[in-house]
Amino acid sequence: DGGITQSPKYLFRKEGQNVTLSCEQNLNHDAMYWYRQDPGQGLRLIYYSQIVNDFQKGDIAEGYSVSREKKESFPLTVTSAQKNPTAFYLCASSRSRTAIAKNIQYFGAGTRLSVL
């Protein structure tokens, strides 16, 4: 089945540790996105990538890093510089980078990150 797979579903981070969240899509989409969701709030954009080997910062990029070495994969690393990482993280993808009507973002099931 085509879709977006995020793993793990739950992740725990120790103080000073970097952790990486996985996002894989088999939809042949060019663009991929990472969002953060805090309890009772909407989604905020962390990073996005419009094409392989290219990515841009979103609204809350500090303390996070990404890579886009393959079209299918867009991993997010939460670094030790992110002092409040506890949140729900959602990955999304869309067919292309252009903002046409049919270019809808599809979402994965998310990863819940907690600090030990």
Site residues, other proteins (CB under 8 A) = 31, 33, 40-45, 48, 50, 56, 58, 88, 90, 92, 94, 96-99, 101, 103-110
For the chain, how many helices (H) and strands (E)? Answer: 0, 11
- Minimum Å distance from CB 116 to other proteins? 21
- Minimum Å distance from CB 3 to other proteins? 10
Q: How far apart are the first and last CA of the chain?
A: 35
Closer to other proteins by Cβ: residue 33 or 64: 33
Closer to other proteins by Cβ: residue 16 or 39: 39
Closer to other proteins by Cβ: residue 18 or 59: 59
- Between β-strands 10-13 and 64-66, what pairing exists: parallel, antiparallel or unpaired? unpaired
Distance between CA atoms of 87 and 65, rounded to whole angstroms?
16
